Amino acid sequence: MIRKLVRQMLTAQILSALTVSLCLLIDSVMISRCLGETAMASYSLANPVLLAIGAIGSLLAAGIQVACSKSLGRGSQTETNAGYSSAVALGAGISVLFSIVVILFRSPLATIMGAGRSGPLFEETRDYLLGFSIGAPGSMGALVLVPFMQMAGQSGLLIAAVLGMTVTDIALDLLNVTVFHGGMFGMGLASALSYYVAIVIGCVYFLSKKCVFRFSRRLITREKILELIRGGIPAGFNMASSVILVFMINRILKSVGGASAVAAYTVVMSIGNASNCITTGIGGVSLTLAGVLFIEEDRTGLRELIRSLGWYSVALGVVMGAALLAGAPLLVSLFVPEPGVVRDMAIRGLRMFAAGLIPCCLNNALKNMYQTSGREKLTELISMLEGAVFPALAGFVCSRAIGVNGVWLFFALGELLTLIFIGALIRRKTGSLPWKRDSFLLLREAFGTDADHLLEADVHNLQDVTDLVARAEQFCLRHGQSGRIANHIALCIEEMAGNIVQHGFTGDSKPHHLSIRVLLKPDEWVLRFRDDCRAFDPVHYVPSGQEDALGIRLVLSLAKQANYTYSLNMNNLTLKLPLDEQVAAQA
């Protein structure tokens, strides 16, 4: 089931990241080709202000993935709704304030960004800031809602929203330059309106009765807001590292290759950021799924997750790398149509960039998994080493050895050095090679449950249910529990699993999966049922007057606690039952 989840989530994550990157790439191409050099310069100068709202939104989105994946793993819908409510409120407040500040102070901001105090460059920079700032709430809203759409299993709607945004942006860009002639204000406004289109499409789900998240003002708390911010801090380190790296690589390139090398670097990174959709997708899946599995102390699931992401890292890295190698001349010509030094350098730089995609994917998978396991400091260290220290060091050293061509190795060598660092750290902390046993997970020895206290099974039909019921009963008796407790555990599995197979597995032609865990803890029994059938909440919405409901109500009466969530396109039901000693004490 983990592999299926990874495949589903990865597709949506990559497509959404790719579409957004292509949207930005198309904007820059259209501005450079249709509005001229001054417009392109004003777009570049305005970028730091635009990146500020994107950085805050990305930080908040990362915090959402960390905090809400953990609350989903605990089976707490209330806590998840608190994260949803707090994230929406915080995002709305920040983005509206951002819009007001930029609209009121766009002239001083244009000057601070280097556009001067008057003239065409100043005017166009100021106009673009005005147009784009109108869409700040939409931009922030899109970033905040993406992780919630992933957790709700709305991958199809997410892709539709991102595609809608892209098509709208391209259409409005074309109308601006061919019909309305709105200049840079029109280009900024086109981007702003496209973000609102994405929000409208997304709200088809969030405003419907099917939405699994509920907004409530009383659930907005200072503690939850701080948790979201803390969870996004490593993402902030990534952003800070990126800013530092751009500054340092620009300085290195200017010293060895002049302005032409700096211009080529801009082209390489514009295309490279779009190709990094695969690394973004790998990291996003790791952050969300690892959070759920870590809270459940599912060592087996974490192992399967990272190994699946490792396989996808290699496969996607090879495919994207081959595309960059073969398509570099065509891609670079979109930015630099005339042959020359800049074009040649950009083609070489892009091809060398391709070599770093595989280690970058692997680093993102491991780094984000470490973050959800409570190793925030390690994640921050890796982010700084990967994002700034190693690539800048590699670029500097190689530039002194082989000139400009050496600088282009900064990305590949930086990612490779980061991966070597992680491997050395694993060897030092565990005494084992990274690929041996579970050493790459860096989990404490006590993490998870002793295999002797855990029973896991995948159910495909009613015969599997019958077999598991017998195994579970023997499992309980073997651990010194009474026949009564063994019967309770067996009854819960028989009723809940049987109901899922009989009613959830039928009604469509899709293959379905049901995963069951029976866990003996020091103070209770924990049963977890996870299936990918249509949503059904047995805890709160048990149908009355039906024979199946009698069995479900009996199961709920035996459990001292029952939690249900629908997330990641799956039903998740957790039942907690007392141990034999607790039953005796209650009697």
CB neighbour list of residue 522: distance below 8 Å, 6 or more residues apart: none
Nearest to 12 by CA among 191, 137, 148: 148
pLDDT of 112 > 70? The answer is yes
What is the C-alpha separation between 131 and 139, in angstroms, rounded? Answer: 13
pLDDT tens per residue, range 378-420: 988 998 999 889 999 999 999 998 888 899 999 999 999 999 9
Helices assigned H by DSSP within 334-402: 341-354, 357-372, 376-384, 390-402
- Judged on CB neighbours under 10 Å (0-12, 13-18, 19+), 208 is exposed
pLDDT of 142 > 50? The answer is yes
| Residue 345 falls inside a structural domain | yes
Nearest to 55 by CA among 276, 237, 228: 237
pLDDT of 350 > 60? The answer is yes
Contact 147, 64 (CB under 8 A): yes
Q: Of 420, 448, 476, which one is at a domain's C-terminal end?
A: 448
pLDDT tens per residue, range 176-202: 988 888 888 998 888 888 889 988 998
Model pLDDT, residue 585: 47
Average pLDDT over residues 271-276: 87
| Residue 60 falls inside a structural domain | yes
Let me know whether 459 and 581 are in one domain: yes
Nearest to 290 by CA among 276, 304, 310: 304
Let me know whether 151 and 256 are in one domain: no
Let me know whether 316 and 455 are in one domain: no
Model pLDDT, residue 319: 95
pLDDT of 587 > 60? The answer is no
Identify the bridge partners of residue 564 per DSSP, sorted by sequence position: 573
Residue 457, domain CATH: 3.30.565.10
Q: Of 414, 448, 482, which one is at a domain's C-terminal end?
A: 448
Let me know whether 188 and 287 are in one domain: no
The answer, as to whether pTM is greater than 0.85, is: no
Model pLDDT, residue 3: 81
The least confident of 102-106, 145-149, 564-568 is: 564-568
pLDDT of 375 > 90? The answer is no
Alpha-carbon Rg of the chain, whole angstroms? Answer: 26
Let me know whether 351 and 273 are in one domain: yes
The least confident of 121-130, 441-450, 453-462 is: 441-450
Percent of the residues in the chain that have a pLDDT greater than 70, as a whole number = 95
b/e map 267-301, b = 16+ CB within 10 Å: bbbbbbbbbbbbbbbbbbbbbbbbbbbbbbbbbbb
b/e map 521-550, b = 16+ CB within 10 Å: eeebbbbbbbbbbeebebbeeeeeeeeeee
Average pLDDT over residues 420-431: 90
Model pLDDT, residue 362: 95
Q: Of 391, 418, 448, which one is at a domain's C-terminal end?
A: 448
Identify the bridge partners of residue 575 per DSSP, sorted by sequence position: 527, 562
| Residue 227 falls inside a structural domain | no
What is the C-alpha separation between 460 and 514, in angstroms, rounded? Answer: 7
Average pLDDT over residues 271-298: 85
Model pLDDT, residue 475: 92
What is the C-alpha separation between 84 and 60, in angstroms, rounded? Answer: 11
- Enumerate long-range contacts of 510-515, CB under 8 Å, 24 or more apart: 513/1, 513/4, 513/458, 513/460, 514/458, 514/459, 514/460, 515/1, 515/456, 515/457, 515/458, 515/459
pLDDT tens per residue, range 539-565: 776 555 555 577 888 888 888 888 888
User: What's the token pair of residue 232?
Assistant: 């996004």
Let me know whether 286 and 339 are in one domain: yes
| Residue 137 falls inside a structural domain | yes
Let me know whether 284 and 368 are in one domain: yes
User: What's the token pair of residue 128?
Assistant: 């673009």
Q: Indicate the SS3 state at residue 538.
A: coil
Let me know whether 100 and 165 are in one domain: yes
| Residue 234 falls inside a structural domain | no
Sheet bearing 561-567, strands edge to edge = 454-459, 514-520, 525-531, 570-577, 561-567
Instruction: Write down the mean pLDDT value for the chain.
Output: 85
User: What's the token pair of residue 581?
Assistant: 């000693």
| Residue 158 falls inside a structural domain | yes
Let me know whether 269 and 203 are in one domain: no
Let me know whether 167 and 80 are in one domain: yes
Let me know whether 471 and 387 are in one domain: no
Q: Indicate the SS3 state at residue 337.
A: coil
CB neighbour list of residue 476: distance below 8 Å, 6 or more residues apart: 485, 486, 489, 490, 525
| Residue 338 falls inside a structural domain | yes
Model pLDDT, residue 355: 94
Q: Indicate the SS3 state at residue 336.
A: coil
Identify the bridge partners of residue 565 per DSSP, sorted by sequence position: 572
pLDDT tens per residue, range 219-256: 998 889 988 888 888 777 777 787 788 778 878 888 88
What is the C-alpha separation between 145 and 202, in angstroms, rounded? Answer: 8
Q: Indicate the SS3 state at residue 209.
A: coil
Let me know whether 273 and 143 are in one domain: no
Domain with 460 in it: 451-586
Model pLDDT, residue 489: 93
Model pLDDT, residue 302: 87
Higher pLDDT, 543 or 120: 120
Measured in residues, the chain has a length of 587
Domain total in the chain: 3
Model pLDDT, residue 582: 52
The least confident of 97-101, 232-236, 348-352, 570-574 is: 232-236
CB neighbour list of residue 113: distance below 8 Å, 6 or more residues apart: 45, 46, 48, 49, 125
- Unique residue bearing structure tokens 């407040």: 93
pLDDT of 208 > 90? The answer is no
| Residue 290 falls inside a structural domain | yes
pLDDT tens per residue, range 463-473: 999 999 999 99
pLDDT of 446 > 70? The answer is no
